[in-house]
């Protein structure tokens, strides 16, 4: 039987590529011409993949019919109009005696080269399926670009090669030449076959390290505010309480040297309200020196989690790579609610309503109930403002002066504190004259 010895890509193109196929003549000493009678011919079959799964029933080439075995010399063919840029091709040959097939060669494919680009680096890898053994590969670079002139870079024994020290944004093109052999006396000692030309453009694809986990802090005004909310010596309805409108989160981080990439350009800050895991971008810094951010998630909430990422330089040669998230930093609300123990609903314009005596903050709702001395509920509301005017809610009439008992279940808007805080006490209604 013949041996395929060349599947050599001559022209790389998406529609007009060319591959040169060559094979040996059958061994005359091993072919019984009294059984296998003339005429003799070859048929070459082609598949547009490496595995040979798409061979058609029609050959891409049929040789002339030879009346004598020794005349069967036409053992090469160039296949044209191929997409060698994107596809490898595989071939086998059928050898005929008269109308009978003597046999079919093993499949042999072209070498297919791929180039993966990274930062100042092109990573070349290639593969082929051939019946001979390739032992070495010569890696060629096209110099100058577009000249179809290839200069050897290196010779390797594996199916991969890294071309480093390149200029990002610059195109580099390559081809591979295999060196192999059947290691038989009936075939050439050395077989050379080329891949298609493949190109790559090095780009910065390496993300920076996340900002240093030990240098990120979140300062919530709840933790730093100087007021009497947590003063153990504060008396009821006394002291100063900071309103919600003055509270905020401040996130700070340091611009430490980056061990993953040295081209960090700026930072991004992400926030998840109440640490649900649904993070949104809330800030992009204006450069490396911009390493703090003041944030008010909403008018009624500071609670949540933050993380920070580093972004490397944006340029036409790559960049814009985002690091993994930093460690998560957490802040919380600081609820406050305080009720007085007396009020004077006498319509004099002063202290006519029972309501929180100091500024309250981060309270969703309350379950406030007032009972008389017989345990009857005379007023109830879910409004944190309360605004009780001293009337019996059941009759609409003014309640008499005296002492009433209240309970208040406070729904606090926070992550780390009690969901419901309970208050109870006495309210003294005073109806002094106007």
CA distances from 119 to 114, 211, 321 (A): 17, 21, 11
Q: Is 280 exposed, middle or buried (0-12, 13-18, 19+ CB in 10 A)?
A: exposed
More confident residue, 299 or 40: 299
Q: How does pLDDT run across 1-38, given as a tens digit for each residue? A: 788 999 999 999 999 999 999 998 876 666 666 667 67
- 30/72 same-domain check: yes
The pLDDT value recorded for residue 65 is: 79
Question: In this model, does residue 193 exceed pLDDT 60?
Answer: yes
Percentage of the chain exceeding pLDDT 90: 68
Task: Using the 3D structure, point to which of 304, 331, 358 is the last residue of a domain.
Answer: 331
Q: Is residue 288 part of a domain?
A: yes
At 379, which helix (H) or strand (E)? strand 377-381
The pLDDT value recorded for residue 1 is: 75
At 364, which helix (H) or strand (E)? strand 363-371
Question: In this model, does residue 318 exceed pLDDT 70?
Answer: no
CATH of the domain at 374: 2.60.40
The pLDDT value recorded for residue 408 is: 97
- 67/154 same-domain check: yes
Please answer whether residues 236 and 337 qualify as being in contact, where contact means their C-beta atoms are separated by less than 8 angstroms. no
Backbone angles phi, psi at 71, to 5 degrees: -85, -5
- 131/184 same-domain check: yes
Confidence class for position 72, pLDDT limits 50, 70, 90: low
Q: Is residue 26 part of a domain?
A: yes
- 8/109 same-domain check: yes
- 69/91 same-domain check: yes
Task: Using the 3D structure, point to which of 331, 365, 395 is the last residue of a domain.
Answer: 331
CATH of the domain at 230: 2.60.40.10
Q: Is residue 425 part of a domain?
A: yes
The pLDDT value recorded for residue 125 is: 98
Task: Using the 3D structure, point to which of 282, 304, 331 is the last residue of a domain.
Answer: 331
- 109/221 same-domain check: no
Confidence class for position 312, pLDDT limits 50, 70, 90: confident
Count of domains observed in the chain: 3
- 278/193 same-domain check: no
Q: Is residue 207 part of a domain?
A: no
Task: Supply the DSSP string of 100-131, one letter for each residue.
Answer: EEEEEPPPEE--EEEEEEETTEEEEEEE---S
Please answer whether residues 421 and 335 qualify as being in contact, where contact means their C-beta atoms are separated by less than 8 angstroms. yes
The residue to which tokens 């009821």 are assigned: 236
pTM score of the predicted model:
0.64
- 24/114 same-domain check: yes
Q: How does pLDDT run across 156-186, given as a tens digit for each residue? A: 999 999 999 998 889 999 999 999 999 988 7
Q: Is residue 175 part of a domain?
A: yes
- 291/152 same-domain check: no
- 181/234 same-domain check: no
The pLDDT value recorded for residue 258 is: 63
Between CA 103 and CA 245 the distance in angstroms is: 89
Domain containing residue 142 = 4-200
The pLDDT value recorded for residue 211 is: 82
Q: Is residue 206 part of a domain?
A: no
- 176/79 same-domain check: yes
């Amino acid at each position: 039987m013949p041996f395929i010895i060349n599947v050599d890509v001559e022209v790389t193109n998406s529609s007009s590529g060319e591959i040169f196929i060559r094979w040996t003549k059958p061994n005359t000493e091993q072919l019984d011409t009294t059984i296998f009678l003339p005429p003799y011919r070859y048929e070459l079959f082609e598949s547009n993949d490496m595995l040979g799964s798409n061979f058609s029933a029609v050959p891409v080439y049929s040789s002339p019919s030879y009346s004598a075995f020794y005349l069967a010399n036409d053992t090469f063919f160039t296949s044209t109009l191929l997409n060698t840029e994107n596809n490898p091709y595989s071939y086998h040959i059928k050898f005929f005696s008269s109308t009978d097939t003597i046999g079919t060669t093993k499949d042999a494919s072209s070498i297919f080269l791929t180039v993966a680009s990274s930062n100042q680096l092109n990573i070349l890898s290639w593969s082929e399926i051939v019946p001979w053994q390739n032992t070495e590969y010569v890696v060629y670079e096209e110099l100058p670009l577009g000249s179809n002139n290839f200069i050897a870079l290196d010779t390797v024994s594996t199916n991969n090669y890294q071309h480093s020290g390149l200029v990002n944004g610059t195109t580099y093109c390559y081809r591979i030449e295999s060196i192999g052999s059947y290691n038989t006396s009936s075939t050439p000692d050395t077989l050379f076959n080329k891949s298609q030309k493949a190109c790559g453009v090095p780009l910065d694809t390496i993300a920076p390290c996340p900002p240093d986990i030990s240098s990120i802090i979140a300062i919530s005004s709840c933790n730093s505010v100087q007021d009497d909310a947590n003063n153990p010596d504060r008396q009821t309805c006394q002291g100063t309480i900071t309103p919600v409108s003055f509270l905020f989160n401040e996130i700070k981080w340091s611009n430490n040297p980056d061990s993953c990439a040295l081209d960090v350009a700026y930072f991004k800050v992400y926030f998840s309200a109440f640490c649900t895991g649904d993070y949104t971008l809330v800030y992009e810094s204006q450069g490396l020196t911009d390493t703090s951010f003041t944030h008010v998630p909403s008018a009624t909430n500071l609670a949540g989690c933050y993380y920070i990422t580093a972004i490397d330089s944006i340029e036409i040669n790559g960049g814009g790579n985002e690091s993994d998230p930093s460690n998560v930093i957490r802040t919380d609300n600081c609820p406050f609610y305080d009720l007085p123990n007396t009020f004077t609903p006498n319509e004099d314009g002063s202290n006519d309503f029972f309501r929180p005596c100091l500024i309250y903050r981060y309270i969703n709702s309350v379950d406030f109930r007032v009972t008389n001395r017989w345990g009857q509920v005379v007023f109830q509301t879910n409004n944190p403002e309360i605004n009780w005017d001293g009337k019996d809610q059941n009759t609409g009439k003014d309640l008499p002066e005296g002492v009433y008992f209240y309970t208040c279940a406070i729904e606090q808007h926070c992550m780390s504190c009690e969901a419901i805080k309970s208050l109870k006490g006495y309210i003294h209604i005073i109806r002094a004259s106007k």
